[in-house]
Amino acid sequence: MHERSEIARLLRLEGDARIDFLDSKALAGNPLGDPATRPVVVYLPPGYDDGGSRRYPVLYVLHGYTGDAAALVSARPWETNVLQWADRLVREERMPPALIVLVDGFTRLGGSQYVDSIHNGAYATYTVRDVVGHVDANYRTISAEGGRAVLGKSSGGFGAMHLVLEHPGIFAAFASHSGDSYFRYAHFPAFATVHRALEAHDFDLGAFVSAFEAKHKRNMTEYTTMEMIAYTAAYSPKGASAFDLDLPFDRATGELRDDVFARWLAFDPAERVAGCQAELSRLRLRYLDCGRRDEYNLDIGARVIAQRIRDLGLEVRHEEFDDDHRNVGYRYAISLPALAAVLDLK
Amino acid sequence: MHERSEIARLLRLEGDARIDFLDSKALAGNPLGDPATRPVVVYLPPGYDDGGSRRYPVLYVLHGYTGDAAALVSARPWETNVLQWADRLVREERMPPALIVLVDGFTRLGGSQYVDSIHNGAYATYTVRDVVGHVDANYRTISAEGGRAVLGKSSGGFGAMHLVLEHPGIFAAFASHSGDSYFRYAHFPAFATVHRALEAHDFDLGAFVSAFEAKHKRNMTEYTTMEMIAYTAAYSPKGASAFDLDLPFDRATGELRDDVFARWLAFDPAERVAGCQAELSRLRLRYLDCGRRDEYNLDIGARVIAQRIRDLGLEVRHEEFDDDHRNVGYRYAISLPALAAVLDLK
Amino acid sequence: MHERSEIARLLRLEGDARIDFLDSKALAGNPLGDPATRPVVVYLPPGYDDGGSRRYPVLYVLHGYTGDAAALVSARPWETNVLQWADRLVREERMPPALIVLVDGFTRLGGSQYVDSIHNGAYATYTVRDVVGHVDANYRTISAEGGRAVLGKSSGGFGAMHLVLEHPGIFAAFASHSGDSYFRYAHFPAFATVHRALEAHDFDLGAFVSAFEAKHKRNMTEYTTMEMIAYTAAYSPKGASAFDLDLPFDRATGELRDDVFARWLAFDPAERVAGCQAELSRLRLRYLDCGRRDEYNLDIGARVIAQRIRDLGLEVRHEEFDDDHRNVGYRYAISLPALAAVLDLK
Amino acid sequence: MHERSEIARLLRLEGDARIDFLDSKALAGNPLGDPATRPVVVYLPPGYDDGGSRRYPVLYVLHGYTGDAAALVSARPWETNVLQWADRLVREERMPPALIVLVDGFTRLGGSQYVDSIHNGAYATYTVRDVVGHVDANYRTISAEGGRAVLGKSSGGFGAMHLVLEHPGIFAAFASHSGDSYFRYAHFPAFATVHRALEAHDFDLGAFVSAFEAKHKRNMTEYTTMEMIAYTAAYSPKGASAFDLDLPFDRATGELRDDVFARWLAFDPAERVAGCQAELSRLRLRYLDCGRRDEYNLDIGARVIAQRIRDLGLEVRHEEFDDDHRNVGYRYAISLPALAAVLDLK
């Protein structure tokens, strides 16, 4: 009999939580130099037995920008993290027992957006092939599309939408909490901020990133700048070496480069869902939410996506909250049961 | 001999300041119901004599959004208003004696942007015909293009650029301090804010405005909403009755209405200067500045305009400051002398 | 027949507004070098006639810190200044016709608190003797205690309370809107801020003030520092030459100097009203209000004062608003009529 | 041979980290109902061997208000937590190998301040007797005063100072990073905020706390209110049942209750160190630091404490940073080696 892990006890879980380390082929030799060995955190519900015969559906959780697996595991008094939510929901029988898997999509730039990028590495492939493969190989999962869902907040919500559109057949449902979308409202003002910050570094992105890493503390402008570099690395990389990127704005004036921004828009769920009838129609649940005071205006994106999906004749669950972009973990209490409810239970 | 006015004494001016009231034909019967009788504040430099033979150049000052003539006259300890700047610069012989005229472009919505609008009234015509006509008729001016310049801050800077492009031959020079431009960066995030605020009023603009007016105090969201209604009234009016406007975003989702926003862009100096070679080339001075921390990203717009003007083979004076959008009156110490220097002195 | 002044017309008053310049004996030769000639703004209600026989009560308005007479006269769209309020209230017959006098209590440090200080000059004497004397000598006033009231916001509210306690027999009533009081809550945190700022200037107050004046713009810390220097100059001056002051905190550590702060507390209305039975009992109205979200915690002070006055067996009118410290001019609509109502009407 | 724990691997430690659960006698049956079983996190440096003969000094780390052991263990990208700092410093040979123990001092109110309170429970006793006893009993420690130091940030810094003053002979050194002190500057403005918040709950503290706990998100005022309740529970409890507390301000007005606040001041290190010559002189290191922009003005407190200790003829290490109160973990790189350097190494 396996004893519950230290993390499970520290988080006061009734179930268990294990931390595996996966060697990802997809990430091997990535140009940015991030580790190809990644933690995979797996929550096991009470009663899970390695040697048993029962099989479980799996919910894959994607963290947001500046997050990683360790951050998802982290706990704060008065707050409930995603593992604690899952454990509580299962314990209170508000959802059927399921595995929860925390995917680590961090990069040196703060996040991969879970897309395959010639600059960052193949993070979409890593997620749908390497992480899913590891979990199916090592745990008692329902190893089929009908037994998997994907969800996340912010950039994790974007990632969930990206993966179901880009890799149909892996997940049967998604939930996006305040997911990145409608980039014109979400990112335009930041471009001006970042233009100023990078001009002060003569647009030497490597120098900016090194200076960022060396600081004890960073201010909001520095975080925003790093964030836009990360998105550039995901959406408009130029070559397969570190910092070889096409910024979406002109270096001299800061104005938009329409040709580069068009590459960003090709990733924008609000722009692309209209063309993804096939990928969307096979899903059992499409769940979107956002706070109506979202600082990045992602509520507008969620509305656009919901309307476009309905225009395709498909159903969507779309919720709005009187809330902003931060600390929206309480919505796991909605999404986790909703996703688990549509998955196969054996 | 005319005694110096009370306002001149309160502001401790060496020159004088008069407040006329002009009945504007251009504003008569405007749909929004704003007064057609408007204050015109005229600063007269020391030595100005109604009965003398000397004639003076005139600098027309346009206030920003939420300003009016009374606000331009207002004084604050430790601050120097535009009349006080002019008086000091003349007194210290840093600029030649000139008249300064404060134009009142206020509307019930907070500002006209100095454009002719079927919804608001003909504020461009009012400025270049009625105000200029009144001043030339009543003061000892050099009543020709070579004797006039126009300047302003924020929406007043926009107005200055708009009037030289739209009404060539009136002014020989302009100065735009942090003038509205490059609307995509300046206005996009506000559209989301305003969408939320107006949704709460069922998109009844009249109800919103009435509620705004009835309040003792308004918050930032309310000011931003009023501001966007004002810009809509200037750039994309629908009809000639109050609140008959085409909002630049979709009512259901908040996403951009590209067709309406195209009407806004037709007013955007950053978008239109490239096509205004003739209007720009006749000017003796084109002056632009902005703080490099402008909250509305107008520094990007100023850079774009400056580059586009240079692309036409014309000179532009473009300055940047380590500053934000507020309280930039100290720049009058640059623009007033620079403008006066290129005007005819008779 | 006197024509209405330009200011009256600019502010769209039905009554008139005159700006006199008074040579104050009390301020002559003040150590700080501020002008002894001061503007006195006098509002005259509709129907006021210099040659008539009717006499009017007078309400003396004291501006807050960083204000002066010109600032009180200043107008902003959508806002109503104190002259506009008075004019409107008289016009709508919500208060009897009265004169409104705006007192200028500005100093180089941003304000005098209307107290006699060996460092700043005798601003209490200036107000109750020179300004009141000038108004009684030049206007058709009811020149007796029963015909005068005093009011103000913030430091002006403090001034109103100070003058009725310090100079009984001049005013028959006072109103304090968010007046300075309960200094322990209001000023303690600022002491730390100011200690840091002045340490950076080696506690050379003159150098700080000169640097402040030379700047185009000042940040919040700089304003707070100037404010505390001004209060020190009012409450704990050391000698009669500029910047000879006893700061209320220790230069080495920043901790409180209890002996100096005791001098401040001697001015604190919350601390002193309990000992002012005689001065308070002769008043016809004692009016206090404050926003319950006051950034300086002056709502606590107002409560303390109100309770202490009631403990003396006297009545007090005490109102609270769901509001902060800024833009509370709407309360003039309460205080002006309430004060006018208790004054002699001849 | 013990395998490294999952947490050690997730945090990428070279050493190990164990999480024990201690049944504290001191906390058994505490009135507030908090658990008496507490996690004790123990970091073991590389080379630590349960069966070996080497013994190690121990640094006890106290978290701040709203922290707990799980929060101290938590990791964020680009940040270094205290375990990661210790591991790195040992690995780089910047400090000798030592055990690091994370003490859990959380209560339902957000924190115990590590003091014995009839209301909360005996958290000082719990720390110095139960936690220290557990560690000495289960790990290869130098189990004497000369082998122990205590440190912390914010309320943890306060706790470190409190424990060396209150329980001399346990620790040979302390470090306080931005520790709570000089309560007059630190807490006075908050009293006004909390008075307003609690008035809205009719001063029913239990109702406030229950409402707080039930919320998904809390605003700054709510956090500040909870914080002041927690300090009241530590410094001025009234009885041994939940929420039986003496608030330091008057319920009617919000003004200070000097008698109650005197009980707070009895805990204030800035007020009490002058009387603790004996307790302070036996210490081998007294380390204090603070950011000079501390939002709670704790830099003033650190200066006062440092001066008072020097006034006793004792040395103190006192450092200031151009920094605020948040994210000051980088200072562990100073304090951990400095503390370890003065401890016995066997």
Contact C6 B21 (CB under 8 A): no
Contact D77 A68 (CB under 8 A): yes
Contact C217 B323 (CB under 8 A): yes
Among A195, A297, A307, select the one facing B300 at the smallest CB separation.
A195
Contact B299 A192 (CB under 8 A): yes
Closest chain A C-alpha to D341 CA, distance in angstroms: 24
Q: Tokens for C92?
A: 């709508």
Dist CA D60 CA D167 (whole Å): 14
Residue type for position A314: L
Instruction: With CA atoms as reference, report the closest residue to B272 among B305, B232, B244.
Output: B305
pLDDT, tens digit, 9 for 90 and up, residues A247-301: 999 999 999 999 999 999 999 999 999 999 999 999 999 999 999 999 999 999 9
Pairing of β A16-23 and β A37-44: antiparallel
D16 touching A (Cβ < 8 Å): no
Measure CA C255 to chain center.
Answer: 29
Residue B328 and residue B177 in contact, taking contact as beta carbons nearer than 8 Å: yes
Measure CA D287 to chain center.
Answer: 14
Q: Does residue A148 sit in helix, strand or coil?
A: strand
What are the angstrom distances between the C-alpha of A239 and each of A232, A242, A246, A272, B64? Answer: 12, 8, 9, 24, 46
A182 touching B (Cβ < 8 Å): yes
Residue C129 pLDDT: 98
- Chain A interface disruption, residue of D19, D217, D294, most A CBs within 10 A: D217
C227 touching B (Cβ < 8 Å): no
Residue A25 pLDDT: 98
pLDDT, tens digit, 9 for 90 and up, residues B4-33: 899 999 999 999 999 999 999 999 999 999
| pLDDT at D314 > cutoff 90 | yes
Contact A213 D78 (CB under 8 A): yes
| pLDDT at A1 > cutoff 90 | no
* Beta carbons within 10 angstroms of residue D329's beta carbon: 18
C200 touching D (Cβ < 8 Å): no
D221 touching A (Cβ < 8 Å): no
Give, as one character, the DSSP assignment of residue B285: E
Dist CA C119 CA A222 (whole Å): 47
Write down the residue that tokens 């110490």 correspond to: B333
A310 touching B (Cβ < 8 Å): no
Among A39, A66, A106, select the one facing D10 at the smallest CB separation.
A39
| pLDDT at B45 > cutoff 90 | yes
Residue C246 and residue C232 in contact, taking contact as beta carbons nearer than 8 Å: yes
Dist CA D91 CA D105 (whole Å): 29
Instruction: With CA atoms as reference, report the closest residue to B346 among B50, B142, B100, B65.
Output: B142
- Using CB atoms and an 8 Å cut-off, which of residues 128-167 of chain B contact chain C? none
Q: For C93-130, give one letter per residue: b (16+ CB within 10 A) or e.
A: eebebbbbbbbbbbbbbbbbbbbbbebbbbbbbbbbbb
Among C253, C297, C300, select the one facing D304 at the smallest CB separation.
C253
| pLDDT at B211 > cutoff 80 | yes
Closest chain C C-alpha to B84 CA, distance in angstroms: 13
C80 → chain B, closest CA residue: B216
Among A9, A70, A323, select the one facing D75 at the smallest CB separation.
A70
List of chain A residues whose C-beta atoms are within 8 Å of the C-beta of residue D327: 216-217
User: Measured on CA atoms in the order A336, A337, A343, A344, is the torsion positive or negative?
Assistant: positive
Instruction: With CA atoms as reference, report the closest residue to D63 among D130, D156, D136.
Output: D156
Pairing of β B16-23 and β A317-321: unpaired
pLDDT, tens digit, 9 for 90 and up, residues C33-59: 999 999 999 999 999 999 999 999 999
Q: Tokens for D289?
A: 């630091």
| pLDDT at C1 > cutoff 70 | no
Contact B6 C21 (CB under 8 A): no
Give, as one character, the DSSP assignment of residue D239: S
Instruction: With CA atoms as reference, report the closest residue to A332 among A164, A153, A106, A132.
Output: A153
More confident residue, D162 or D50: D162
What are the angstrom distances between the C-alpha of B99 and each of A187, B46, B91, D61? Answer: 45, 10, 13, 71
Q: How confident is the model at residue C66 (pLDDT cuts 50, 70, 90)?
A: very high
Contact A253 B189 (CB under 8 A): no
Closest chain D C-alpha to C304 CA, distance in angstroms: 6
What percent of chain D is modeled with pLDDT above 70?
99
Dist CA A18 CA A30 (whole Å): 26
B118 touching C (Cβ < 8 Å): no
Q: Is B192 exposed, middle or buried (0-12, 13-18, 19+ CB in 10 A)?
A: buried
Concatenated DSSP letters for C234-283? HHSB-SSSTT-B--SB-TTT--B-HHHHHHHHTT-HHHHGGG-HHHHHT-
Phi-psi region of C156 (alpha: psi -120 to 50; beta: other; left: phi over 0): alpha
B303 → chain A, closest CA residue: A253
Contact A255 B196 (CB under 8 A): no
Residue type for position C249: F
What percent of chain D is modeled with pLDDT above 90?
96
Pairing of β D99-103 and β D37-44: antiparallel
Residue C176 and residue C160 in contact, taking contact as beta carbons nearer than 8 Å: yes
C200 → chain D, closest CA residue: D292
C19 → chain B, closest CA residue: B6
A228 touching B (Cβ < 8 Å): no
Closest chain D C-alpha to C256 CA, distance in angstroms: 9
pLDDT, tens digit, 9 for 90 and up, residues A146-164: 999 999 999 999 999 999 9
CB within 8 Å of D324: residues ≥ 6 apart:
D291, D293, D294, D295
Torsion of CA C273, C274, C275, C281, to 10 degrees: 70
Torsion of CA C286, C287, C293, C294, to 10 degrees: -70
Closest chain D C-alpha to A103 CA, distance in angstroms: 13
Residue C32 pLDDT: 96
pLDDT, tens digit, 9 for 90 and up, residues B186-196: 998 899 999 99
pLDDT, tens digit, 9 for 90 and up, residues D273-291: 999 999 999 999 999 999 9
- Using CB atoms and an 8 Å cut-off, which of residues 71-90 of chain A contact chain D? 71, 73-78
CB within 8 Å of A276: residues ≥ 6 apart:
A165
* Beta carbons within 10 angstroms of residue D146's beta carbon: 16
Closest chain A C-alpha to B38 CA, distance in angstroms: 37
Q: A–B: how many Cβ contacts below 8 A?
A: 67
List of chain C residues whose C-beta atoms are within 8 Å of the C-beta of residue B7: 6-7, 10
Bridge partners, C150 (sequence order): C60, C174
pLDDT, tens digit, 9 for 90 and up, residues B284-309: 999 999 999 999 999 999 999 999 99
List of chain A residues whose C-beta atoms are within 8 Å of the C-beta of residue D74: 70-71, 73-76
Contact D188 C185 (CB under 8 A): yes
B70 touching C (Cβ < 8 Å): yes
pLDDT, tens digit, 9 for 90 and up, residues A329-346: 999 999 999 999 999 987
Residue D2 pLDDT: 57
Helix, strand, coil abundance in chain B, percent, nearest 5: 40, 15, 40
B and D touch per CB criterion (3+ pairs under 8 A)? no
* Beta carbons within 10 angstroms of residue B92's beta carbon: 9
Instruction: With CA atoms as reference, report the closest residue to C236 among C261, C254, C257.
Output: C261
Closest chain C C-alpha to B75 CA, distance in angstroms: 6
* Chain length of chain D: 346
List of chain D residues whose C-beta atoms are within 8 Å of the C-beta of residue C304: 253, 255
Residue A2 pLDDT: 57
Contact A78 D213 (CB under 8 A): yes
Q: Which chains touch A (3 or more CB pairs under 8 A)?
A: B, D
Summarize the confidence of residues C319-340 as an average pLDDT.
96
Residue D1 pLDDT: 43
Residue B120 and residue B315 in contact, taking contact as beta carbons nearer than 8 Å: no
Q: Does residue B148 sit in helix, strand or coil?
A: strand
More confident residue, C183 or D2: C183
Could you list the beta-strand ranges (E) of chain C: 16-23, 37-44, 58-62, 99-103, 116-117, 121-122, 148-153, 173-177, 285-291, 317-321
Average pLDDT, chain C: 96
Residue D99 pLDDT: 98
Measure CA D221 to chain center.
Answer: 23
A69 touching D (Cβ < 8 Å): yes
Closest chain D C-alpha to A214 CA, distance in angstroms: 9
Concatenated DSSP letters for B221-274? HHHHHHHHHHHHHHHSB-SSSTT-B--SB-TTT--B-HHHHHHHHTT-HHHHGG
Q: How confident is the model at residue C274 (pLDDT cuts 50, 70, 90)?
A: very high
C191 touching D (Cβ < 8 Å): yes
Summarize the confidence of residues D246-250 as an average pLDDT.
98
Residue B1 pLDDT: 43
Dist CA C236 CA C259 (whole Å): 10
